[in-house]
Amino acid sequence: MFEDAGYYQRLPLELEAALEEMRFWLRIMADHAKLIRNGFDLMEERFFRVSDRFSLDFDELLRQVQAPSPGPPEVVGLMNKSEYLTGKFRDFKASLVELINNCRVLSNRPGELIDHLRREAEYFLGKMRRIQGRPTPTREEIGIPDGNLPTFLVPRLLIPSFQDHLKEISIEENLFWLHQHSEHAGVLGIYLRPVVQRELLREVREWERRLESELRRVERMPVSPEGIKRVNEGIGRLVRQWQEYLEELFAKISRCQVPTGQVNFPPSLADHMAREAVYHLSLLEAINEKLH
Residues 206 and 275 in one domain: yes
Write b or e for each residue in 100-115: b if 16 or more Cβ atoms lie within 10 A of its Cβ, otherwise e. Answer: beeeebebebebebbb
Residues 176 and 86 in one domain: no
Tell me what pLDDT residue 141 has: 98
Residues 97 and 180 in one domain: no
Question: pLDDT of 36-68, one tens digit each?
Answer: 999 999 999 999 999 999 999 999 999 999 999
Q: Could you list the residue range(s) of the whole structural domain that residue 29 is in?
A: 11-140
- Classify residue 152: in a domain, yes or no: no
Residues 173 and 131 in one domain: no
Q: What percent of the chain has pLDDT over 90?
A: 92
Number of domains in the chain: 2
Tell me what pLDDT residue 5 has: 46
Torsions phi, psi of 150, nearest 5?
-70, 155
CATH number at residue 206: 1.20.1260.120
- Classify residue 6: in a domain, yes or no: no
CB 78 within 8 A of CB 143: no
Residues 229 and 172 in one domain: yes
**Could you say which of 108, 140, 172 is where a domain stops?**
140
Residues 53 and 101 in one domain: yes
- Classify residue 269: in a domain, yes or no: yes
Tell me what pLDDT residue 220 has: 83
Question: pLDDT of 182-206, one tens digit each?
Answer: 999 999 999 999 999 999 999 999 9
Q: Supply the pTM of this predicted model.
A: 0.95
Torsions phi, psi of 195, nearest 5?
-95, -60
Q: Which residues does 96 contact at the CB level (< 8 Å), separation at least 6?
A: 36, 47, 105, 107, 111, 114
Residues 292 and 166 in one domain: yes
- Classify residue 154: in a domain, yes or no: no
- Classify residue 149: in a domain, yes or no: no
Residues 216 and 280 in one domain: yes
- Classify residue 153: in a domain, yes or no: no
Query: What is the arithmetic mean of pLDDT over 233-248?
Result: 99
- Classify residue 150: in a domain, yes or no: no
SS3 149: coil
Residues 75 and 126 in one domain: yes
Residues 131 and 255 in one domain: no
Tell me what pLDDT residue 4 has: 47
Predicted confidence band at 159 (pLDDT cuts at 50, 70, 90)? very high
Residues 176 and 231 in one domain: yes
Question: pLDDT of 103-126, one tens digit each?
Answer: 999 999 999 999 999 999 999 999
Q: Which residues does 242 contact at the CB level (< 8 Å), separation at least 6?
A: 181, 185, 207, 211, 277
- Classify residue 32: in a domain, yes or no: yes
Tell me what pLDDT residue 275 has: 99
pLDDT of 85 over the 70 cut: yes
pLDDT of 169 over the 60 cut: yes
Residues 111 and 183 in one domain: no
The mean of the pLDDT values for the chain is: 95
**Could you say which of 140, 170, 203 is where a domain stops?**
140
CB 153 within 8 A of CB 131: no
